[in-house]
Amino acid sequence: MRAPSLRITTLLRGWSMWQTQHQAAAGSSWRKLKARPLATFLTWLLVALSLGLPASLLLTLNNLSAVTAHFERPPQFSLLLTEATDLNGAVQLKQTLERWPGIASVELIPKEEALTQFSALTGLDALLDSLSRNPLPHTLLVASRNGASDAESASLMQRLKGIEGVARVVLDTLWMTRLEEGLRVASRWVLALGAMMLLATVLALGNTLRLTVIAREDEILVVRLIGGSMAYARRPFLYTGLWYGLGGGVLGAVILWLFCGWLAGPVNALFVLYESQQRLQWPGMHYPLALLGVAVFLSWSTSWLACERHLRQLERH
């Protein structure tokens, strides 16, 4: 049974040959980058910044979404009554509404109290004193039951609008909806910006790597001439791409952490001021890892593309 052991020996020899060649290619491309530290660092910075910017925006967005998630509460309507409705009418309306299904509570704010609150909040006492009469109407704050859907809230709002003596209905959660929509716009904006930054990275890296390939054209030609395969000629450039990606990814992760460290103080102080239990979300492990993965994949595939194109051109001449 010589054949199987022979095959294993061949496989082992192939594996050690593969290992030797890869070690040599990785080592030589690393030494070439180390010989030009400033240029290498600038390329890392390019990768780091163009990936770090979308990553930090995404992190900001995730933080904001986490904040708004805490705002969940049943929609509240403000019913501004007509001027003709007096306090008695308002009390009666309050009692009627309290019996409606779908309504959790009703609070009456008489117009005198509203004026006092308004002047206390704004400090416009002098201006309000100069008015001959109170311009504010009586107001009912109507809270709907928990778990009401958007459609139920909308139909409740229609019914409230139809009540005799109600001038206007204001849905207090409108700003929430607006915020949520705003966040959706922002997240698309971040994605689009991220995609553009990635494309810009590919183009800039592609150009850097293309110049690297051109600078080492002689080497490629000699390697091909003395029997090096395309894979052998390509390998040092793929490792160059890999080093660019690894360095840029690590630097990008560091930048993201610095960004968070810089923001954490004021952001957390803001949360405290709003009496929120929320604190700034740190990038954790998945952000840096994703950043590193994207950076390595992008640089490696970009160098593959740049190399392949140029090698084919050289081959033709």
Q: How far apart are CA 195 and CA 200, in angstroms?
A: 9
Q: What is the DSSP string of 180-242?
A: HHHHHHHHHHHHHHHHHHHHHHHHHHHHHHHHHHHHTHHHHHHHHHTT--HHHHHHHHHHHHH
Q: Between 74 and 228, whose beta carbon lies closer to another protein?
A: 228
Q: List residues bridging with 144 in a β-sheet.
A: 103
Nearer to another protein, 121 or 226 (CB): 226
Nearer to another protein, 16 or 276 (CB): 16
Handedness of CA 301, 305, 307, 312 (dihedral sign): positive
**Closest CA relative to residue 241, chosen from 162, 311, 178, 301:** 301
Rounded Cα distance, 24 and 298, in Å: 23
Residue 314's nearest CA partner among 236, 218, 228 is 218
Distance of CA 113 to the CA centre of its chain: 44
Question: How near is the Cβ of 62 to another protein at its closest, in Å?
Answer: 47
Residue with Cβ nearer another protein (11 or 66): 11
Q: Which is nearer to another protein, 98 or 219 (CB)?
A: 219
Q: What is the binding site for another protein (CB under 8 A)?
A: 16-18, 20-21, 24, 218-219, 221-230, 232
Least distance to another protein, CB of residue 278, Å? 57
Q: Report the nearest approach of another protein to the CB of residue 20 (Å).
A: 6
Q: Which is nearer to another protein, 107 or 219 (CB)?
A: 219
CA 252 → CA 21, 138, 258, distances in Å? 30, 57, 10
Q: How far apart are CA 101 and CA 152, in angstroms?
A: 12
CB of 24 to another protein, least distance (A): 6
Of the chain, the end-to-end C-alpha distance in Å amounts to 49
Nearest-approach distance from CB 208 to another protein, in angstroms: 18
Comparing CB distances to another protein, the nearer of 163 and 230 is 230
Alpha helices for the chain (secondary structure H): 2-35, 37-69, 87-98, 111-122, 125-130, 150-161, 174-215, 217-225, 230-273, 286-316
- Residue 238 CB, shortest distance to another protein, in Å, is 16
Cβ 180 to another protein shortest distance, Å? 57
Quote the least distance from Cβ 215 to another protein, whole Å. Answer: 10
Shortest CB 300 distance to another protein, Å:
22
Contact 104, 74 (CB under 8 A): yes
Our CB check for another protein shows the closer of 20 and 105 to be: 20
Q: Can you tell me the distance from the alpha carbon of 147 to that of 149, in angstroms, rounded to the nearest whole number?
A: 6
Q: Between residues 90 and 223, which has the closer beta carbon with respect to another protein?
A: 223
Query: How far apart are the C-alpha atoms of 145 and 185, rounded to whole Å?
Result: 30
